[in-house]
């Protein structure tokens, strides 16, 4: 009895799964995926809400004009828990059943890399938000035709951080604490170390923790004894706040520096005095009027502050709209070609895609310093 | 075929292989592992070394993945199989995390940033073929003397020992075979995803596999087969409920445990003979039910307890 | 030398965090003979209860603290009634309890994400964050307070178990549930009491973790380490759980400080296995056949 019931349910499930949505003529379907649950959920929810908000705003303004027709935009978003295997599942679903014309996200490089073959088979382009691993768009020297991104990449960010620390802050000895189980952290650490050493600096401590750890004092005590000029912390704001607090507790007074995992309103509330006077590399300057406008709209609509991912997915949406206008038709293949030609002013800087790498070119990194609980813009800084 | 459906079927097939091995370990030998994702990781990386680095055919990769996972499991088994229940459990948990930590640190294979560009050699066809081979092998094993001995170890270890069964040997056999299966599943997964990353082989993955075995029913191969397919599809079906998906999954796990503790097919196998028996039983059951209403589903088959 | 002493202090502090969780594990294990993986979820709820009591209800710290562990005691009891009791009545093997506990753990984490969201939340400031300096060694104030609170609650727990009639019944049930039942102990009641005690410990742990490490849905995951510590010390033994936790904290700290922070968990794991090979029931565990 139960066996038969189960078989029936499974059959019904197969049928349900295999019938896709119906196609509407005047709507452009765009996919989004990322982590709505799991430990990356903060960033995923922020991206998804931003996309929803922007699409609503655009539709309320009459939609967008592609070719000589006006379309409304619709987002179909799926949760992948930040899991690579689920990323593959949802991209298969978005391309084969929902028949989206393009996909926005994900934020994690490890989720953006395995979806490339599916995108190529389905001819649907993807614009990743903060996936900074070079291998997201280029593999074995060849550019992946359907993978794009709006952010700068790890080697660049690592070079900026090392350059700024050495040239501007005058650090000669650096200690690094990184998350060994996280791809972003490991990538950034590698390129920081490489560039800092190339400039003539010395890495006096290279310590790691493992994702999920909440106590960093053993590593920090070691760093304290290393007599460093600066501490580089390439990981996300929650761990940054915890480790910064613990470092100050241990009597470490050196400035700390980080990457684009840092910026969040929560870093200030969690880190407080511990992160005062610290520096980080960012994609944008928060005092920029365009940035402030989006930030205020988001806060007004959802009652919480946006995270960094929101700004980048904002520009991914702009990039998509630009691409559609250039393509002149709603077609994944044409869109992928058009995305190589986009050239527009986003809130994170001017975006121009390099056809050889599918990375945005000429986006200078912004260096921000935390002063009195505010992110104070220091300068635009390009790695030399 | 629809790419989405095909993708999930492929994943079901991959899970099925890993679950098959675990079915032997947990369902027949009564050992509980938190570290099988670690064996999958060993398989995935070994196979990728063979195919991507050395350029050998996929078959060699698969064979190598089974062998490497089996060897590692044998070493782990020597150190830990003498431990009891929870202690073995914790040892496998530590092992799974340790494998990940080594891979995270090993830059030669990409470290925690992962290893992209693995050939896309896993197809629905070769996975189905491997599934069939895997099921046939396990089915023959459990029906042999060795299988019966394993069940004896699970049911009453002390008694089995007294009866002259080398319990250590059978536990080791189950562990090594299950690790080899997990290794093959890892190899297939890597060559399906074309990308592997230590993060993919977390403790959550190990737990998911064990949940499938329990869901299918301890000591039932057909239960594990059905469980692998159903529980791979379930999260996809639950996508409609968005972020409530895992809430529902958690509730479903508890509901299965308390509602049908022997799992879907506990101690019951789906074979042509059992089908005939099932219908005969049901007819008899209906008659008894009509007579007394005392018939209870849970008393009708042997429990899987120890 | 200063670094070495500092590392000892770090190790003790990390160890006491593990201990607070491990005792809850061990207590339930001693009666039920399974590892209660939902414990981490209950701790997480404790952290949230305390946080919301202080921010939304604007309660003073001690009231929020009390509210938190009352809440977690009820939650732990509720989980027992729903997820374990039916299994107990059926005399299901320990595997089912573990899986059911995992289901509960998945449920707890995700119900929080689905309802109040995955955001990290910071506790209002209760204790000063400046450390007490002993020469060149820094001792965190929160660490000290936490150390004393856990010591007091563990002492109370031991008193309860050793000195009261109920405590004796718990000991008897831990030794042999069936025999205790035959001697007229209401074992169902014992199980409830044990879960309430475990829940209270989880609430205390939750509030302190929330203050120390901020509040977020995955905070319960640090309990994996305390599970390891409980096994290390000998599952089911309360002094073992404390000793195992402190040792694990110190081993981890020393490995990270002097050998390699990259391979910390690997080395700690090898040490753990070595201990288990020579003492298969942990440091303080009784050497006996498994009771399941």
pLDDT at A279: 95
Nearest 10 degrees: Cα torsion A298, A301, A302, A307: 0
Q: Give the pLDDT of residue B165.
A: 84
Domain ranges in chain C are 23-220
Look at C119 and A304 and tell me if their CB atoms are within 8 Å. Answer: yes
**Same-domain status, A243 and A342:** no
CA torsion sign for A28, A31, A37, A40 is negative
- Give chain A's end-to-end CA distance (angstroms, integer): 71
Q: Which domain holds residue A58?
A: 26-152+289-352
Residue B267: predicted pLDDT: 61
Flag whether A13 is in a domain: no
The pLDDT assigned to A5 comes to: 57
What is the per-residue pLDDT across B36-46, written as a single tens digit (0 to 9) for each?
999 999 999 99
Task: Note the pLDDT tens digit of each residue in A34-68.
Answer: 998 877 888 999 999 999 999 999 999 999 999 88
Shared domain for A330 and A182, answered yes or no, is no
pTM of the complete model: 0.87
| Residues in contact with B203: Cβ distance below 8 Å, sequence separation at least 6, in sequence order | B34, B35, B37, B93, B96, B97, C224
What distance in Å separates the CA atoms of residue B187 and residue B196, rounded to the nearest whole number?
Answer: 10
Test the B interface: residue of A31, A89, A136 with most B CBs within 10 Å: A89
Looking up residue A68, the CATH number of its domain turns out to be: 3.40.50.2300
Mean pLDDT of C38-50: 95
SS (H, E, C) C165-212: HHHHHHHHHHHCHHHHHHCCCCHHHHHHHHHHHHHHHHHHHHHHHHHH
Question: Which DSSP string corresponds to C209-252?
Answer: HHHHH-B-GGGGGGHHHHHHHHHHH-TT-HHHHHHHHHHHHHHH
* Residue A114 domain flag: yes
My answer on whether A229 and A197 are in the same domain is: yes
Whether pLDDT at C145 is above 70: yes
Question: Do B207 and B287 fall into the same domain?
Answer: no
Q: Which of A3, A86, A110 sits opposite B114 (nearest CB)?
A: A110
- The answer to the question of residue A146 being in a domain is yes
CATH number at residue B58: 1.10.3470
- Does any domain span residue A141? yes
Encode pLDDT of B62-120 as tens digits.
999 999 999 999 999 988 887 776 778 878 888 898 899 999 999 889 899 999 999 99
- Whether A5 is covered by a domain: the verdict is no
Q: Hey, which residues does A202 pair with through a beta bridge?
A: A173
Query: What is the average pLDDT score of chain C?
Result: 87
The percentage of residues in chain B with a pLDDT greater than 90, rounded to a whole number, is 44
Whether B109 and B186 map to the same domain: the answer is: yes
**Which of A11, A38, A93, A118 is the mutation pick for testing B, counting most B CBs within 10 A?**
A93
pLDDT score, position B304: 38
User: Distance from first CA to last CA of chain B, Å, rounded?
Assistant: 45
Contact B194 A180 (CB under 8 A): no
Q: Is residue B290 in a domain?
A: yes
**Among chain C residues, CA nearest to B32:** C95
> Consecutive sets of 10 residues in chain A, 384 residues long: mean pLDDT of each?
54 52 69 88 92 95 90 93 92 94 92 94 94 91 94 91 94 95 92 95 94 91 93 94 93 93 87 92 86 92 91 95 93 94 90 92 88 90 74
Cα dihedral C219, C220, C224, C229, rounded to 10, equals: 100
For residues A117 and A47, state if they share a domain.
Answer: yes
- The answer to whether residue A9 is domain-embedded is no
Number of domains in chain B: 2
Q: Residue B199 domain-assigned?
A: yes
Domain membership of residue B128 (yes or no) is yes
Number of separate domains in chain A = 2
Query: Which of B214, B250, B303 is the mutation pick for testing C, counting most C CBs within 10 A?
Result: B250
For residue B266, is it within any domain? no
Residue B139 and residue B246 in one domain: yes
Instruction: For residue A210, give the nearest of C110, C217, C265 by CB distance.
Output: C265
Examine the domain organization and report whether A275 and A296 are in the same domain.
no
pLDDT of A16 reads 52
Of A373, A179, A138, nearest to A275 by C-alpha is A373
3-state secondary structure of A49: helix
Residues in chain B within 8 Å Cβ distance of A84: 114, 193, 195, 197, 199-200
Chain C neighbors of B299, CB-CB under 8 A: none
Asked if A206 and A332 sit in the same domain, the reply is no
- CB nearest to B261's CB, from C96, C109, C227: C96
For the record, the structure tokens of B9 come out as: 């079927």
Write out pLDDT tens, residues B241-300: 777 878 888 888 888 888 876 667 766 677 666 666 666 767 776 766 666 554 444 443
Determine the Cα–Cα distance for residues A94 and B4; give it in Å rounded to an integer.
8
- What is the pLDDT, as a whole number, of residue B167? 85
Q: Which pLDDT belongs to residue A3? A: 52
**Once rounded to an integer, what is the mean pLDDT over residues C274-291?**
67
DSSP, res C123? P
DSSP assignment of B65-130 equals: HHHHHHHHHHHHHHHHTTS-HHHHHHHHHHHHHHHHHHHHH-GGGTGGG-EE-------HHHHHHH
DSSP A226-242: TT-SEEEE-S-HHHHHH
Residue B6 Cα, gap to closest chain C Cα (Å): 28
Same domain, A373 and A232: yes
Task: State whether B107 and B191 are in the same domain.
Answer: yes
Strand, coil or helix: what is A345? strand
Sole residue written with tokens 């004896």: B152
Same domain, yes or no: A202 and A348: no
% of chain C with per-residue pLDDT over 90: 38
**Which residue range(s) make up the domain with B291?**
273-306
Are residues A87 and A57 both part of a single domain? Answer: yes
Q: How far is A172 from chain C (nearest CA, A)?
A: 23
- Token look-up 């480790």 returns A243
Q: Let me know if residue B267 belongs to a domain.
A: no
- A359 in a structural domain: no
């Amino acid at each position: 009895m139960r066996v038969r019931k189960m078989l029936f349910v499974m059959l019904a499930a197969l049928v349900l799964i295999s019938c896709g949505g119906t196609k509407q003529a005047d709507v452009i379907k765009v996919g989004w995926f990322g982590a709505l649950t799991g430990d990356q959920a903060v960033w995923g929810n922020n991206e998804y809400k931003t996309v929803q908000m922007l699409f609503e705003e655009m539709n309320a303004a009459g939609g967008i004009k592609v070719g000589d027709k006006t379309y409304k935009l619709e987002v179909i978003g799926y949760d992948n828990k930040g899991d690579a295997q689920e990323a593959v599942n949802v991209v298969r679903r978005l391309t084969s059943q929902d028949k989206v014309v393009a996909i926005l996200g994900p934020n994690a490089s490890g989720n953006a890399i395995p979806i490339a073959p599916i995108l190529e088979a389905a001819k649907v382009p993807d614009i990743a938000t903060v996936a900074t691993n070079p291998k997201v768009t280029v593999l074995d020297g060849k550019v992946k035709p359907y993978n794009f991104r709006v952010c700068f990449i790890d080697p660049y960010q690592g070079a900026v951080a090392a350059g700024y620390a050495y040239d501007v802050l005058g650090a000669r000895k650096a200690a690094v604490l990184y998350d060994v189980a996280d791809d972003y952290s490991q990538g950034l650490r590698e390129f920081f170390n490489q560039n800092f050493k190339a400039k003539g600096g010395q890495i006096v401590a290279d310590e790691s923790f493992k994702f999920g750890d909440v106590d960093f004092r053993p590593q920090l005590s070691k760093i304290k004894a290393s007599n460093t000029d600066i501490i580089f912390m390439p990981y996300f704001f929650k761990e940054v706040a915890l480790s910064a607090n613990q470092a100050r507790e241990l009597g470490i007074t050196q400035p700390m520096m980080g990457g684009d995992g840092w910026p969040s309103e929560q870093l200030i509330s969690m880190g407080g005095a511990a992160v005062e006077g610290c520096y980080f590399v960012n994609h944008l300057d928060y005092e920029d009027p365009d940035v402030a406008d989006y930030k205020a709209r988001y806060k007004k609509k959802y009652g919480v502050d946006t995270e960094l991912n929101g700004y980048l997915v904002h520009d991914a949406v702009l990039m998509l709209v630009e691409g559609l206008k250039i393509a002149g038709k709603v077609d994944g293949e044409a869109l992928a070609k058009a995305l190589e030609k986009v050239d527009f002013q986003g809130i994170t800087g001017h975006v121009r895609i390099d056809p050889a790498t599918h990375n945005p070119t000429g986006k200078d990194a912004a260096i921000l310093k935390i002063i009195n609980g505010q992110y104070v813009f220091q300068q635009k800084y390009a790695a030399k | 075929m629809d790419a989405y459906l095909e993708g999930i079927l492929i994943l079901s097939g991959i899970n099925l292989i890993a679950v098959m091995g675990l079915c032997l370990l947990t369902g027949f030998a009564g050992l509980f592992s938190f570290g099988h994702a670690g064996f999958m990781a060993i398989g995935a990386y070994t196979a990728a070394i063979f195919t991507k680095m050395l350029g050998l055919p996929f078959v060699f990769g698969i064979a190598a993945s089974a062998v490497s996972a089996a060897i590692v499991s044998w070493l782990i088994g020597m150190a830990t199989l003498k431990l009891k229940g929870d202690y073995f459990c914790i040892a496998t948990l530590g092992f799974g995390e340790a494998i990940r930590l080594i891979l995270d640190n090993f830059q030669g294979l990409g470290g925690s940033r992962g290893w992209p560009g693995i050939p896309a050699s896993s197809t629905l066809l070769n996975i189905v073929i491997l599934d069939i081979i895997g099921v046939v092998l396990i089915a023959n094993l459990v029906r042999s003397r060795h299988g019966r001995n394993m069940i004896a170890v699970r049911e009453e270890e002390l008694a089995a020992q007294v009866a002259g069964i080398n319990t250590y040997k059978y536990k080791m056999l189950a562990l090594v075979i299950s690790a080899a299966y997990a290794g093959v599943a890892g190899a297939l997964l890597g060559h399906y995803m074309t990308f592997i990353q230590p993060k993919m082989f977390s403790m959550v993955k190990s737990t998911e596999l064990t949940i499938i075995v329990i869901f299918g029913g301890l000591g039932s191969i057909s239960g594990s087969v059905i469980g692998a397919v159903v529980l791979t599809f379930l999260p996809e079906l639950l996508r409609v409920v968005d972020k409530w998906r895992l809430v529902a999954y958690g509730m479903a796990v508890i509901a299965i445990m308390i509602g049908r503790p022997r799992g879907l097919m506990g101690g019951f196998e789906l074979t042509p003979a059992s089908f005939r028996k099932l219908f005969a039983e049901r007819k008899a059951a209906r008659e008894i039910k009509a007579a007394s209403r005392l018939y209870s589903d849970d008393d009708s088959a042997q429990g899987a307890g120890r | 030398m200063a670094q070495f002493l500092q590392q000892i202090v770090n190790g003790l502090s990390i160890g006491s965090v593990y201990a607070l969780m491990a005792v809850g594990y061990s207590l339930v294990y001693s009666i039920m003979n399974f590892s209660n993986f939902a414990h981490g979820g209950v701790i997480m709820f404790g952290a949230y209860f305390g946080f919301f009591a202080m921010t939304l209800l604007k309660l003073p710290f001690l009231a929020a603290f009390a509210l938190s562990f009352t809440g977690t005691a009820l939650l732990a009891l509720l989980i027992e009634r729903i997820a374990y009791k039916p299994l107990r009545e059926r005399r299901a093997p320990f595997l089912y309890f573990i899986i059911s506990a995992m289901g509960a753990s998945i449920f707890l984490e995700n119900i929080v994400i689905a309802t109040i969201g995955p955001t990290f939340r910071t506790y209002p400031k209760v204790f000063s964050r400046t450390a007490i300096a002993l020469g060149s060694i820094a001792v965190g104030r929160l660490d000290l307070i936490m150390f004393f609170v856990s010591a007091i609650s563990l002492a109370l727990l031991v008193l309860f178990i050793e000195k009261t009639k109920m405590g004796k019944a718990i000991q008897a049930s831990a030794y042999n549930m069936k025999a205790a039942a035959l001697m007229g102990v209401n074992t169902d009641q014992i199980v409830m009491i044990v879960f309430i005690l475990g829940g209270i410990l989880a609430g205390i742990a939750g509030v302190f973790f929330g203050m120390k490490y901020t509040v977020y849905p995955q905070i319960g995951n640090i309990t994996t380490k305390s599970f390891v510590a409980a096994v290390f010390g000998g599952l089911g033994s309360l002094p073992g759980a404390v000793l195992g936790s402190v040792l694990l904290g110190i081993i981890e700290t020393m490995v990270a400080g002097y050998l390699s922070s990259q391979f910390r968990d690997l080395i700690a794991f090898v040490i753990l296995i070595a201990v288990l090979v020579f003492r298969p029931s942990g440091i303080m565990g009784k050497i006996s056949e498994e009771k399941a």
